[in-house]
């Protein structure tokens, strides 16, 4: 049974897709042993509690030093002892010590087709605002392993989503969530839980 910790910051729709995937059997061999948020009072915490999943808030603003926040985060992870850490709408830069503590065991969902519209400053709605400003006709989402960079780790999967005339950032974000994020992330977890994907020599290796 793969033990996962899901890290969240806000609404938790990707967390909900994972919870639902485990409940309906589309994600197998997986248990969410904890949810960690960097923000208090967000809907993702309600979603975890409603599903009976232990939920914790570790807020960087409550630590005088960033290093203390990182230590608290790593200590909680060590306590939960996950096999895989899933960043689902998590808006905190992962510290290097966390990447090295969990090599090939951290995955992230990003709401664009990496390498477009990613990296520093590209998160949440801003990704879709930039895509609309650029006038792309196709966008989408990417699941990738997390390395020391920002959205630079080995790509696991991607799914394209059409941009339609008249799209607002909010409408486009919702379409990318519905048509890509909520499909890709559960599938990646199920693949990892059943040994179909792993990170090897800095690449995503898929067992066919």
Residue numbers annotated as active site: 110
Which residue, 149 or 195, has its beta carbon nearer to ligand GRF?
Answer: 149
Q: Which residue is nearest to ligand GRF (CB)?
A: 89
Which residue, 106 or 109, has its beta carbon nearer to ligand GRF?
Answer: 109
Which residue, 92 or 199, has its beta carbon nearer to ligand GRF?
Answer: 92
Least Å distance between CB 128 and ligand GRF?
Answer: 8
Residues forming contacts to ligand GRF in the complex (CB under 6 A) are: 8, 10-15, 44, 88-89, 109, 111, 124, 173, 177, 181
> Coil, helix or strand for 3?
strand
Whole-Å CA distances, 189 to 80, 84, 146, 163, 183: 18, 9, 14, 27, 11
How deeply is 27 buried, as exposed, middle or buried, from its count of CB atoms within 10 A (0-12, 13-18, 19+)? Answer: buried
CB neighbours of 206 closer than 8 A, spacing ≥ 6?
A: 191, 196, 197
Least Å distance between CB 199 and ligand GRF?
Answer: 20
Least Å distance between CB 195 and ligand GRF?
Answer: 26
DSSP state of 61: G
């Amino acid at each position: 049974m793969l033990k996962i910790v899901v890290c969240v910051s806000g609404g938790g729709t990707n967390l909900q897709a994972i919870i639902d995937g485990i409940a309906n059997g589309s994600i197998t061999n997986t248990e969410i042993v904890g949810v960690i948020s960097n923000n208090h009072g967000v809907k993702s915490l309600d979603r975890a509690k409603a599903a009976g999943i232990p939920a914790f808030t570790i807020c960087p603003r409550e630590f005088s030093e960033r290093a203390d926040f990182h230590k608290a985060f790593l200590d909680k992870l060590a306590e939960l002892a996950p096999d895989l850490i899933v960043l689902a709408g998590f808006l905190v830069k992962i510290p290097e010590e966390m990447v090295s503590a969990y090599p090939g065991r951290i995955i992230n969902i990003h709401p664009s087709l990496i390498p477009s519209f990613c990296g520093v400053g590209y998160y949440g709605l801003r990704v879709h605002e930039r895509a609309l400003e650029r006038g792309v006709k196709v966008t989408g989402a990417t699941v990738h392993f997390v390395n020391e960079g920002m959205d630079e780790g080995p790509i696991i999967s991607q799914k394209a989503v059409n941009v339609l005339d008249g799209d607002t950032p909010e409408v486009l974000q919702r379409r990318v969530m519905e048509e890509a994020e909520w499909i890709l992330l559960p599938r990646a977890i199920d693949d990892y839980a059943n040994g179909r994907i792993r990170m090897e020599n800095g690449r995503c290796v898929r067992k066919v």
